[in-house]
Homo-oligomer: A and B are copies of this chain.
């Protein structure tokens, strides 16, 4: 029998109305057996997420102030959900326990995690599902890294004894019994881990948009939704700033070969975006899958005569980066020049040191750093074999009157990376989008 793991984001569970919508989605398909809820998100623009209220509680307390008012706000949010759903139970015992724990050094992560924890209890009750506390199945190591093996073993064992269950997202436990959370948005990761342990056929990730957009909606008005995207493409786009799914949520299911379906809780008939291991290279009409980009890059340019014939030149340069705990994004090279593209923020504090070290080690004719570069990734699995894509991209950029500062396309790549001046970032992104989406 097929099995789906379903994760619902914060806005999907912001209030009782949204809980009903989520329940109807789950009940519509009996294979939706394991549910990962986030904490209640914003009900309206200007509202505050429960997780943020919890962090605020902790910070107020930590600053020696009074957190009662904020805490009451949290309690009343949950109580109104329970009341409006007509559930016959109350969480007074839980609320008291949490308040006490906050007062007794349970830590900031514990505070933040209670949003998912409480939401999980309510959702389980409402659905009539079992509740599995994530602290008993999601484990971290002493060093704070996720403990993949221990988690997978415990989770597989636990899931076997439940037909249907709710497992709150975002957190797990440390070897010493304290609670630790993933980074923000980490419920996506919990969902992915559960999907793998459950040997799910599909990991549905329900959110407030109808899938992964082809471009940033803050720049492109109403961008098209991507139907099918590969893990690799998604990773390229996510890395370059596109968001929907937590970046680390990809690896557990990817290795298990489980597809992810991004769906819209409030438009359940939309098919959303399917994230898969492999997809035909010519299955979509637009050739490119998506476009994303980031500001804030610097270029270190090293010029030295005969650099090209100097064996070990590149190694020396990268060794200095490594000493400074830096990793480069791109390394375009000519005969006598080598450029390193890095985030400006990474080099900021050691700019002079880097210049000195590079000069000394390479005995270069010149080493310079230039800021203000934006990188744009045009991603598409069809690009490797398709002809004329580069022509369309660069014609569009040219028509937009933008000067190109860097290009990087590898031989087996599914992307072209284009560097432009930060001031040209939005213009370039729009030009490329409009070229491919008519």
Partner of A390, one of B305, B326, B394, B413: B394
B411 contacts A301, C-beta separation under 8 Å: yes
Dominant secondary structure at the A interface:
mixed
A308-B239, A311-B325 in contact; A301/B412 too (CB < 8 A)? yes
B residues within 8 A CB of A391?
A: 391, 394-399
Collect the chain B residues with CB atoms within 8 Å of residue A315's CB.
315, 318-319, 321-322
Q: Are A337 and B370 in contact (CB under 8 A)?
A: no
In this assembly, does A216 line the interface, its C-beta being within 8 Å of a C-beta of chain B? no
Residues of A in contact (CB 8 Å), total 71
Residue among A239, A309, A405, A409 facing the most chain B CB atoms (10 A cut-off) = A409
Q: Please tell me if A419 contacts chain B, counting CB pairs below 8 Å.
A: yes
Q: Provide the bound-state CA to CA distance between A394 and B314, in Å.
A: 29
**Could you tell me if A398 and B387 are in contact, using CB atoms closer than 8 angstroms?**
yes
- Looking at the complex, which one of B321, B339, B410 makes contact with A410 (CB distance below 8 Å)? B339
Given contacts A308-B239, A327-B309, A336-B232, contact A390 B407 (CB under 8 A): yes
A394 to B390, CA, bound (A): 6
Most chain B beta-carbon contacts within 10 A, residue among A236, A387, A392? A387
With A325-B311, A387-B402, A398-B388 as contacts: A333 and B239 at CB distance below 8 Å: no
State whether A390 touches B397 (Cβ < 8 A): yes
A246 at the interface (CB under 8 A from B): no
24 residue pairs of the A-B complex, CB under 8 angstroms, read: A251-B306, A299-B411, A299-B412, A310-B327, A311-B322, A314-B321, A314-B331, A315-B319, A315-B321, A315-B322, A332-B408, A332-B411, A334-B410, A334-B415, A337-B412, A339-B412, A339-B413, A386-B403, A387-B403, A391-B395, A391-B398, A395-B395, A407-B408, A407-B416
Q: Which residues of A contact B (CB under 8 A)?
A: 232, 235-236, 239, 251, 299, 301, 305-306, 308-315, 318-319, 321-322, 325-339, 341, 370, 373, 385-388, 390-399, 401-417, 419
14 additional A-B residue pairs with CB within 8 Å, beyond A339-B410, A386-B403: A236-B335, A310-B327, A311-B322, A312-B322, A314-B314, A332-B411, A334-B415, A339-B412, A387-B401, A387-B402, A391-B398, A394-B395, A406-B409, A407-B409
